[in-house]
Amino acid sequence: MGRLDDRVALVTGASRGLGEGIARHLAAEGAVVVCGDVLDATEVASSLPASPSGRKSKAVHLDVSDTAEVDQVAADIGREFGSLDILCNNAGVAQPIAAVVDTPDDVIQKVFAVNVYGVIACTRAAARIMKERERGRIVNTASQVGKVAWPGWGVYSASKAAVIAVTQVTATELAPWNIQVNAICPGTMMTNMTRTGFTGGLREGENLEEALGQKGASIPMKRLGTADDVGNMVVFLASDECSFTTGAAINLTGGEMVSF
């Protein structure tokens, strides 16, 4: 038996990276996973094991910045599966490395539309269903830079600080319906987003793999984080083992960040 047998989960940004890792770990614990993404997540969804009752995971197109689509996807999940037990607000976009004063409007608008407005829109839609059943778990992917901003990542940092704030307030507002809301704050993870970010910050003649290796060596636990690390944490937060934690922003950084 899995810790999440036949619970229904929506994972945004599930086609790759941390989202794929989250989806795989939820399914391994028995959940039915709806893999939402603007990219095609069919390959991920079709590779997930069926739930104990035989229900299969599926992929759906989901632009989290589109309120109408978010509401429709959530309503469809409620009708098809009868519940929505777990929401993982993982979809996110990075920014080209730049000082805040040099960041153009379109980048600011895109980062906040996906990273902040998307979290709010999906939380709002999922909570409507969860409140009816008086049960639910929402896990938001924030970032260590939402606690201490990095130069060159100011807009992204601000968006992740907003995710932490949204986590705290919705945890308080939804607690009467037994809905727990928590955030994970990953450190430097081995993902395509990280590789792209490091590529943009390389000095002339610097090698990407060497830069990533040096970054991993600088972390107290001597490695970068992985999608498996995030997936394992999400499973715990979504499970019955985690019954009295809400409004938390949990560091998952290997010691790279140890602040509150």
Catalytic residue (choose from 112, 117, 153, 156): 156
Query: Can you list the alpha helix ranges (DSSP code H) found in 29-178?
Result: 42-46, 67-81, 105-112, 118-133, 154-174
Question: 11 and 35 in contact (C-beta within 8 Å)?
Answer: yes
Q: Which two tokens stand for residue 83?
A: 């519940």
Buried-exposed string 99-108: b where 16+ CB fall within 10 A, e elsewhere:
eeeebeeebb
Question: 187 and 253 in contact (C-beta within 8 Å)?
Answer: yes
Q: Which two tokens stand for residue 198?
A: 């490091």
Helix, strand, coil percentages for the chain (3-state, nearest 5): 45, 15, 35
Q: What is the DSSP string of 130-172?
A: HHHHT-EEEEEE--GGGTSPPTTBHHHHHHHHHHHHHHHHHHH
Question: Is 156 in the active site?
Answer: yes
Which of 32, 183, 41 is CA-nearest to residue 115? 183
Q: Which residues are catalytic?
A: 156
